[in-house]
Amino acid sequence: MAEINLQEIHDLLISIAHEAGRMQMSATPSYLDSGTKKNSADLVTETDQAVELMVSTKLRTAYPSYSFIGEETYAPGQTLTDAPTFIVDPIDGTTNFVHAFPAFCISLGFVVKKAPSVGVIYNPYLDEMYTAIKGKGAFLSRGGEENIRLPLKKNPEPLKDLSTCLIGAEWGSDRSGGNFELKCKVFAKLAASKEDGGAMVHSIRCMGSAALNLAAVAAGQQDVFWEGGCWAWDVAAGWCILSEAGGIMASGNPGDWDPKIDGRKYLAVRGAPSGQKEIVEEIWGIIGEGRLEYES
């Protein structure tokens, strides 16, 4: 196979992200005409489908020999292989999109041998473009301005313990069963006072988009993101941006420092001169004997 030109892929993904942003911003979605997938909290709109068609057409034309996985055309059984693969969520944060809550984006990832190699995340509402190429750093461009290198703070503080952390976490769309119960337990323990056995974190944010959560951790605006249930297309781009900004990705379940991109359980910690592993272990301690269970 010819050498892969990551810069060229990055540049194409940025132009596709702009086009997707125009499509998202000119749409007028409503929860009344959005469809549901698994349940009433798992939404899909015509715009999700139209954007994915635009993206897949452009990528297949430019790179016919590379694989493509997209949220709206994924079929159970389709697996991620070692082949160069575009992993795309046309709208991450569809619920926000439908409610005009300004936290949705397109998430465009490119992985080689399952390793995140290019990431582009674009929030058109805020005109914020997060980008990274493996080995070349991560960047944010706001309003088309010059790239700012991530993390935003030049000298990020060390991570002390969870009591000084702002945490990103998501309910997801499962609202019963073991995964839901474990999330409720972990959320309560993260928030509770030390006197009551909790970690008393600064707070917990539910942004509604895994990709934007990872971008926020890469930027250093959130210290941690913990989630189970989201998919490779929600994290492929953000993972590349996070790693290039000095952050780390562990599993959302205790004990696994080398999680799979399609493993559906993630724990991201921002870049810091010290304390990253300790924060992972503190969260794993809160999860305790519980385990997130999601089929890949």
Q: Which residues are catalytic, by number?
A: 71, 89, 91-92, 94, 234
User: Which residues fall within 8 angstroms of residue 19, CB to CB, at 6 or more apart?
Assistant: 54
Task: State yes or no: residue 241 binds ligand IPD (CB under 6 A).
Answer: no
Which position among 230, 237, 245, 267 is part of the footprint of ligand IPD (CB under 6 A)? 230
**Which residue blocks in 38-176 are alpha helix, DSSP H?**
46-62, 94-99
Pick from 172, 220, 238, 246: which binds ligand IPD (CB under 6 A)? Answer: 172
Find the shortest distance in angstroms from Cβ 170 to ligand IPD: 3
| Closest separation in Å from C-beta 207 to ligand IPD | 7
Stretch that binds ligand IPD, among 9-17, 19-27, 149-157, 228-236 (CB under 6 A): 228-236
Q: Does 170 bind ligand IPD (CB under 6 A)?
A: yes
**What is the phi/psi pair of residue 168, to 5°?**
-100, 130
Assess contact for 169 and 179: CB atoms under 8 A.
Answer: no
**What would the two tokens of residue 18 be?**
């702009």
Angle between helix axes 177-191 and 276-287 (nearest 10 degrees) is 120
Does 92 participate in binding ligand IPD (rule CB under 6 A)? yes
Of 158, 163, 157, the C-alpha closest to 282 is 163
- Does residue 52 bind ligand IPD (CB under 6 A)? no
Of 52, 72, 89, 282, the residue at the interface with ligand IPD (CB under 6 A) is: 89
- CB–CB of 96/209 below 8 Å? yes
Q: Is 210 in the site for ligand IPD (CB under 6 A)?
A: yes
Task: Identify the DSSP state of 152.
Answer: S
- For ligand IPD (CB under 6 A), the number of binding residues is 13
Cα 231 to Cα 262: distance, rounded to the nearest angstrom = 6
CA distances from 171 to 42, 50, 103 (A): 11, 27, 16
Closest to ligand IPD by CB, 164 or 221: 221
91 is in an annotated binding site: yes
Q: SS3 of 273, please? A: coil
174 assigned to a ligand binding site: no
Tell me, residue by residue from 120 to 139, as one string, x for binding to ligand IPD by CB under 6 A and - for no binding.
--------------------
Question: Count of CB atoms within 10 A of residue 274's CB?
Answer: 10
Binding-site residues for Mg(2+), in ranges, read 71, 89, 91-92, 234
The site for ligand IPD (CB under 6 A) is made up of: 71, 89, 92-94, 170, 172, 208-210, 229-230, 234
Binding-site residues, in ranges, read 71, 89, 91-92, 234
